[in-house]
Amino acid sequence: MSVMATATADQAAPARTERERRRELSPAERAAKGKRARSDVPRKAQALWEPPPDRRDPVEILREQEATRVPELLPIRHERMGESAFSFYRGAAAVMAADLALMPSSGLRVQLCGDAHLSNFGGFAAPDRSLVFDINDFDETLPGPFEWDVKRLAASVEIAGRDCGFGARDRGAAVSATTGRYREAMHSFADARAIDVWYARLDERNVLPALEAVGARGEEKRLNRAARKARSKDSMRALSRLTEDVDGSLRIIDDPPLIVPVGKLFEDISGRNFEREMRENLNAYRRSVTGAGARLIDRYRYVDMARKVVGVGSVGTRACIILMLGRDADDPLFLQVKEADASVLEPYAGKSRFSQHGRRVVEGQWLMQSASDVLLGWASATGVDGQRRDFYVRQLWDWKRSADIETMTPERLHSYGQMCGWTLARAHARSGDPIAIASYLGGSDRFDRAMADFAVAYADQNERDYSAFRDAVASGAPASRR
């Protein structure tokens, strides 16, 4: 049976069956499962990347993605992806998903981020209002082989190092440190109680000790400065940056093409009809929010909405921000609503068990993150074109901050990669079998070296794809087949 067929069959099976099977196995039997996987797919086999003659055209893959996106926003997507090889990599998750499916699979499945590159990790506010470091983007989340996420992270370290002008030795050391930390963390989670794995996280209390443990010292001032900046990025800041007074009422600013109020986008829709639909959509979203978060939403009323372009890979999908007010104009809440389509992994790892893709994103985030936004939820809505689409909803900003990859030194890339590696291992250990995965990885650095070799080979591939993409954009026909 092929890897794809096996993945599809596993995906279709009831989720409880896998949990029951794992509970029935002893730790020794789970470790043996990992060793069998290593026999079937040796760790050195994970290093190999050689594009087959019939490899899919990367520009064509991107073109297919753009078929459902907002046409007038595609030039922004092309511009952002064209800035650097790393920016292109950020937007080309679909290209790498097709390539990963061609490689040998360990068969050890976890909940994947699906787009685990360096810029999809960062800080944000936990519900207890501490600043945590975690994965912060789950648009492509789906169950699949654990190494798919590790390879995407490893290659992103190599590509980022090239963009920063680092030498091969520094880049290789950073990649090996990243994947080595993943391996070491997985071994620690394999030995831990399940509940301790669930509570593990990197936050303000332990991020400095964690950095010092991996040899990064003298970071306290920089991290404190970053924490202050993160805390200032909240709804009050959004209020000052993104709104204006219009005839005595707060309205989201008009800053095309990046921010366009919904009234400007759909001038032919009556305000009354739109308000009614917004209330219905917000009620549907409210029903998806867990716990007391739904009661919190009840304290706010809808005020305004605008389309807002975000990210690199997400550009062209339908994304907007919603302004809501509580007690008065000094009590704002900004929600970000993002379109959720099928994961780029689905053609290769099997369809999601959730038919609503906003829920797929949210459920994956709940499973992988150590702490999630209390207002995280999902809804579906019908657009002016009559198409029903899925969305997920979260707070806008809420202390969200990502590392500035472009200004990193080799030492910081080295230590930052290790933070990401630990975090990814923790996320995988929550959904997968850490004992089996740790057994597959082994105690030596063989897996780390394989990932470093893969990262170099795939960074070379990314540069070729980036060049083809830039040529297509320059020709004025990025959607054409090359």
Q: Is there a contact between 453 and 50 (Cβ–Cβ < 8 Å)? A: no
DSSP secondary structure code for residue 409 in this structure = -
What's the CA angle centered on 133, arms 79 and 417, to 5 degrees? 65
Cβ-proximal residues to 112 (8 Å cutoff; 6+ apart), any chain: 140, 141, 142, 143, 144, 146, 148, 149, 345, 349
**Domain coordinates in residue numbering, the chain:** 3-117+137-213+406-474, 235-395
Please write down the long-range contacts of 218-223, taking CB distance under 8 Å and 24 or more positions apart.
219/415
With contact defined as beta carbons under 8 Å apart, do 228 and 204 qualify? no
Tokens matching residue 284 = 């549907």
Q: How far is CA 5 from the centre of its chain?
A: 25
pLDDT tens string for the chain (482 positions)?
A: 334 434 444 444 445 556 666 678 999 999 999 999 999 999 999 999 999 999 999 999 999 999 999 999 999 999 999 999 999 999 999 999 999 999 999 999 999 999 999 999 988 888 888 888 999 999 999 999 999 999 999 999 999 999 999 999 999 999 999 999 999 999 999 999 999 999 999 987 776 565 555 455 556 666 667 666 767 777 888 899 999 999 989 999 999 999 999 888 876 555 556 667 777 888 899 999 988 899 999 999 999 999 999 888 889 899 999 999 999 999 999 999 999 999 999 999 999 999 999 999 999 999 999 999 999 999 998 876 778 899 999 999 877 778 889 989 999 999 999 999 999 999 999 999 999 999 999 999 999 999 999 999 999 999 999 999 999 999 986 543 33
Order of strands across the sheet that contains 259-261: 259-261, 301-308, 319-325, 332-339, 388-395, 377-382
Is residue 22 within 8 A of residue 31, CB to CB? The reply is no
Supply the DSSP symbol for 315.
B
Q: What is the dihedral of CA 302, 305, 311, 316, to 10 degrees?
A: 130
